[in-house]
Each structure stands twice: as structure tokens, then as C-alpha cells.
Structure 1
């Protein structure tokens, strides 16, 4: 039977390991729709969640966090992000990722492994709240972490600089040595239950997560900032190529490499046609509205998708 997708995912093995995936509250940010969706009105200022996730290997009990959403202490935000808090990107953070984890019984003081999808402020959260954690990033993030000062590129000034290097592990390109469809992937637990997916185009080092959610072929794809609205992977909207930055008056894109980002979006949309794959964006306001305060949030879990 065809999956509806143009490529196949790895078939389950005997006694296949899989993961329990839970959403974490990570605050909310205004993301004006016209920055991301072609033809949207510039008055459409949607408030979106910044979702984080808790992932547990159901066989071994190993745990990992994917992203941290927003941090409550906005003084730690990168330079350009702080400048936009009162205008373009106001934030509301009644509960951050540490609050969400501790609500489910996981201490922020524990030796967590935390995968950072990329260095934008609404995904890095406040690393200082996790003093014993190891932060896992793609190698390309390292160049942005070290770029400070007046001569630093704009993408570095909008990237968080507060991830501690002495607690960081950078994955080189060579580690992404498992080919799944069009993607280069890293087998995180070494048992085929969860992969970190190289997801280029949005920002250097941008990664997604592909995790099995059952032993018989269900998956979840945590797409981070691959797209900022569901319509862009659901076939009912086009990516905005350029918008006018109200601070500079110049045209810019939400992605550093738009053609590559568009290719990745197309691949995610293709994957979404597989009836046993659930694709979830970090800022999916529609999913959040339907599921907030419900069993998909930690200590509950997102159910496996069935065909």
C-alpha cells in the first residue's frame, strides 16, 4: 500500500524501539503572518506558541528535550530580538520549558540532554535554568554563537548567545550519516527510534526531529521553524519571499536561504501525506488551540497517528 508520500520511512524491526513524545509549554510570541505567508495582511498579527518537547525512549527510558521555547528573562535575548519586543515580536510567557518539565516531575537541575533546533531566541529559552544539561546542536550553530560585536552579521545578532559552550555538544556533518528519503539524519538513540534531521534553509544549523511513536510504523516529525504556518505545508499558502522590515525599511526574508528553505518545506509537505506521520510545527497555533491544557502536554503524550 502506498504511503501517499514519495519516499518510504525505515520499516519497523522486530521489537522495534519507539518514543513517547510530549509537548511542553514554552510561551507565546507574536509572529505577523505577512512575514511568512505571501499575500497575508500586515495587520494579521497572530500570537503563536513556541512549543518545546520532551521525548522518552519507551524501551530504554532515555530522555531528551527538543527546544526550550522562550525565556522569561528577556534581558538575555539577543540584541535585535530585544529591540523588537515592543513592536514586531511581543512575548507572553506564563509558563516556560523548565516550569513545564517540573510540572511533570523532571527537575531543571537534572542532567538533561537538550537538542536546540536553531539559535533563534524563541527556541533557545533560558539555558541558565538548566545548569547540568548538555546542549546538542548542529556544527553550523558554533559560528553564530561566537559572532558578537558591531561587525557581527545580522543573523548572529538575532541569534541567542547565551548557550554555554562548556555545556555544548556540536554534531559534525559526518554524524548525519543515515539517509531517510531526501534527508541526512543522525540516529540519536542508536536504535532507529529517533533521528535528528538536517533541515537547511531557515538558519545555519537548523534541525528537525523524526521519532517513531509506535512499534508498528507511526511517526512524528517535529519541524521547528521549517515553516511558520500550517498552511505552508498543507498546500493552502505560499511562502513570503520578502517583506519590509519596519525597523530598517529594507526587504528581507524569514529564511536565510529561501530556495533551500522552500525545498525543505516541500519535502515536509510530502512527508505529511504519509497517513502514519504527524507533522508538528513549533508555532502551530491551530494545533495549540485544540490541545492546550490537554493530554498531549507533559506528563501526557501525543498519541501515535494511525492510518
Structure 2
């Protein structure tokens, strides 16, 4: 009896349970030019910057079922800009020079995947430079944040500026999910261990770390949708765990310029032709609060990548992080 007890006491500890991670790869999805005064202040009225409109391929492997779920976060620019609604085409003139080749489909094919391989397309928001060409993804389910469909059903009178036009027929009929309002009453939902790794967009919003409102999509801590208010109704971000020591935060349009994170610049504003004050963010104060949270995440060691992150794109360290091959 005594020897048995000693053996149990000296037995090595059990290994910690395996933590589920996801892979995240950037996808080329076009480039265009921005007048910097509409995004940061102070800045020369003539300053312009060519930036990417990045998309991301996220792949989750369910350790229980063996199933791989593939998600594309944002679709970037539409390859054929003539397929945008006419008001958007007029706005696109102000964003030249622009390149739309490769688009997100070509970037996926470069790595050996096709649109039919993508289970979900999650939009950070429904501005024209993020929505791509939905018809290229005929089998994917589209996911938008709360309030996005209201924007698509009619341009909001509270939004000003040429960027605030939306296409009512953007989302494929019968193949989209609009997330619940994070500020609304949440269902009293409980999820069991057996449901770990099962993607569910109707999980209750919960705080996670610095982020007050998140959805743990697979119920395994590998991938969170993060409510990121300010830029546009329904604006959402992604927090992904790539390893035990590496998390990446896909910030969409919560921030357009790294100088906003460092504090070197402030959010820009401008006057339209009617003399009304415009801002690239629908709610400037909420956008500032979201940027503050992202700044704290970066200080905690989380990697931050926003959709128009030209500095991240141009860093040679990230060449191999584009899907399929090194970025040349």
C-alpha cells in the first residue's frame, strides 16, 4: 500500500490540455490612394498615401472532429470597379490611383484554395473598399455586425461624406447572418465541452481581456469576434490566437494610420461641399475609445493589423505571411 502511494506522489504531472489555435494569412485584395487629411490631423491638405485593403484567411482545425473551417475576413476591393453602384463609382474617382489585381479570389488561388472552399465571409463593416465581390463566393455564409443591414437598406442621414454609400443587394439572399446587438439582452446560453470547436454566431457577447464585448466563435478561445464601435454601425474586429504566446488583432477600420496608435496624430475631420463637418468615423468619440483599447492590446503584446496597414504590408518580416507564397 505504501509503495503505491509513493508512486502516485512521484508520478509526473499530467500535461496541460492542448490549446486550440488558428492560422491567419493576409490576402492581397487591392490598393488605392487616400487623402490623408480625411484620416489624420494635423497633415498637409495635399498629402496622399497609397494603402492596401487587406483581407485575411483564417483556418480553424477542430481537434475533436478533425474538421477545418475556413473564414475570410473582408474581401477588399471589387476587381471590376464598374460593378459598384454609381454613387460609389463617383467616390472611387477620389481614390485613384487604384489597383484591383490581384483581388481576394486570385490571392486564394495562389495558395491553392478556391471560393468554394470558404465556409464563411465575415465583413468588418460594409464600406465599399471591404466588401469585394460577394457573388464570387457562391457557397459561403456571410456575417455582418449588428446594424449593418439597416445601412444597406438605405443610406443613413446621420453619415456624411462620399464614402457613406451602400448597396442594398450586397448580401446574398438566404446566406447571411447579422450578429445580435451587443448592448441588447443576451440569451441565457450555456455551452458544453461537447460544443467546443462548433462555430456558433449566436453565442452571448462576453468580456474577454481588454475587450468588453466579444463572441468566442468556436467556444475554445481560439477566435473572437470583437465589437469595435465608432467607425460604422456593425463594425467588428477579430482577435485570433496563433500560439500560446502570439495573438493577432485584425482591426479593420478601427484605425487607419499607425500614428493614431502612437498618439502622433488625431482623427481627421473635414468640411463637405455644404460646409458640414465630416469624419471618416460615424461616432468619433466611440472610435477614439476603440483605438484606446487597441493601443492597450498592443502594449500587452498583441499584434495589431488594420485593413489599410501599409507599414505592416511593407515590412519584409511579413512577406511570408501572405497566403500561398512570399509577397514579391
Q: After TM superposition, is the score higher than 0.5?
A: yes
1:188-210 CA deviation, whole Å, 9 max, x = no partner? 12211000001001000000000
TM-score by length of 2: 0.80
SS at match of 1:86: helix
CA–CA separation in structure 2 for the residues paired with 1:170 and 1:70: 22
Match of 1:262 among 280, 283, 288: 288
Alignment partner, residue 25 of structure 2: 22
Equivalent positions of 1:17-166 (< 5 A) are 17-58=20-61, 59=63, 60-88=67-95, 90-147=97-154, 154=159, 158-161=165-168, 162-166=170-174
The alpha carbon displacement at 1:72 in A equals 1.1
1:53-83 CA deviation, whole Å, 9 max, x = no partner? 0011244522111000001121332443211
The alpha carbon displacement at 1:89 in A equals 5.2
CA–CA separation in structure 2 for the residues paired with 1:61 and 1:300: 21
The alpha carbon displacement at 1:249 in A equals 4.7
Q: Which has the larger radius of gyration?
A: 2
Equivalent positions of 1:261-300 (< 5 A) are 261-275=287-301, 277-291=302-316, 294-299=319-324
Alignment partner, residue 228 of structure 1: 256
CA–CA separation in structure 1 for the residues paired with 2:134 and 2:45: 33
SS at match of 1:166: coil
1:132-161 CA deviation, whole Å, 9 max, x = no partner? 11101112111112226xx97656952343
Asked if structure 2 preserves the Cα contact closer than 8 Å seen for 1:48 and 1:285, the reply is: yes
SS at match of 1:34: helix
Alignment partner, residue 13 of structure 2: none
CA–CA separation in structure 2 for the residues paired with 1:75 and 1:55: 29
CA–CA separation in structure 2 for the residues paired with 1:202 and 1:243: 16
CA–CA separation in structure 2 for the residues paired with 1:97 and 1:248: 37
Gaps of 5+ in 1: 1-12, 302-307
CA–CA separation in structure 1 for the residues paired with 2:32 and 2:317: 16
1:183-242 CA deviation, whole Å, 9 max, x = no partner? 20111122110000010010000000000010x2320000000011011112322212x2
Gaps of 5+ in 2: 1-15, 187-202
Q: Does 1:197 align with 2:232?
A: no
CA–CA separation in structure 2 for the residues paired with 1:90 and 1:112: 33
Cα RMSD of the aligned pairs, angstroms, is: 2.4
The alpha carbon displacement at 1:14 in A equals 2.5
SS at match of 2:121: strand
Alignment partner, residue 253 of structure 1: 279
CA–CA separation in structure 1 for the residues paired with 2:299 and 2:159: 36
Q: Does 1:187 align with 2:213?
A: no
CA–CA separation in structure 1 for the residues paired with 2:97 and 2:274: 18
SS at match of 2:288: helix
Q: Which runs of 4+ in 1 moved over 6 A?
A: none
Structure 1 residues 98 and 56: CA distance shift in structure 2, 3 A? same
SS at match of 2:109: helix
SS at match of 1:69: coil
CA–CA separation in structure 1 for the residues paired with 2:271 and 2:111: 42
